[in-house]
Structure 1
Amino acid sequence: MNRNWIYVLLAGLVEVIWVMGLKYSNNTLEWLGTIVAITASFYLIIEAAKRLPVGTVYAVFTGIGTAGTVASEMLFFGEPFKLVKVLLICVLLAGVVGLKLVTSDHAEPEVSK
């Protein structure tokens, strides 16, 4: 795994933090942490997208964020466990892994008009 895919993974994990911050922040310090997390997440995803195919990067980023947010809600915030929800997240993650496996680590060159 190269550095750019690590950026995508980290961006997705930090996305979970800022999404939780949007829902649960109650004071200035928590909101500041949320803003820092948003900034870090987008910085990482922008850096990765400079060198990897944007569509795949975005799909992986949002897949990690979605799966992580659903799992965090169930594990830490009392969201009820629903087997159908978990199965659908597994399908989503299978698609994300599939995209990663069929995508080269180099962005496609720009087409001149």
Structure 2
Amino acid sequence: MNRSWGLVILAGLIEILWAMGLKYSSNWISWAGTFLLIYLSFVVLLKAIKKVPVATAYAVFTGIGTAGTVLIEMIAFGEAFSWTKVFFILLLLVGVVGLKLVTSESGEKEGAA
């Protein structure tokens, strides 16, 4: 994995934090932290899309955020566990990994012209 894909993953992990902040913020300090995390996640994502196609990067970013938020909610915050949720999270992750595997960086050539 290269630096650009690492940045996409990092942005997705930060997205998990700010998504939870949207639900659990209750004072101006926690709201300020949530907005800072939103800003930071998009700054990191913008750095990544210099080398990774924007559509793929954004799909992976939101997939990580979605799956991670659901899992953290179930594990740490008492959201109801459901095998159906787990199945769809796994399906989402298969799509994210598939996109990563079939996408080349902007600087790479997919075939000889």
- TM-based fold match above 0.5: yes
- 1:99 and 2:95 aligned: no
Unaligned stretches of 5+ residues in structure 2? 109-113
Cα shift at 1:107 = 5.9
User: 1:61 aligns to what SS in structure 2?
Assistant: helix
Stretches (4+) displaced over 3 A: none
- 1:75 and 2:75 aligned: yes
Q: How far apart in 1 are the matches of 2:63 and 2:44?
A: 15
Which letter does structure 2 place at the counterpart of 1:40? Answer: L
Task: Decide whether the 8 Å contact of 1:53 with 1:107 is kept in 2.
Answer: no
Q: How far apart in 2 are the matches of 1:105 and 1:74?
A: 35
Instruction: Report % sequence identity.
Output: 59
* TM-score of the pair, normalised by structure 2: 0.92
Cα shift at 1:50 = 1.9
- Paired position in structure 2 for 1:111: none
* TM-score of the pair, normalised by structure 1: 0.92
Task: Decide whether the 8 Å contact of 1:7 with 1:48 is kept in 2.
Answer: yes
Unaligned stretches of 5+ residues in structure 1? 109-113
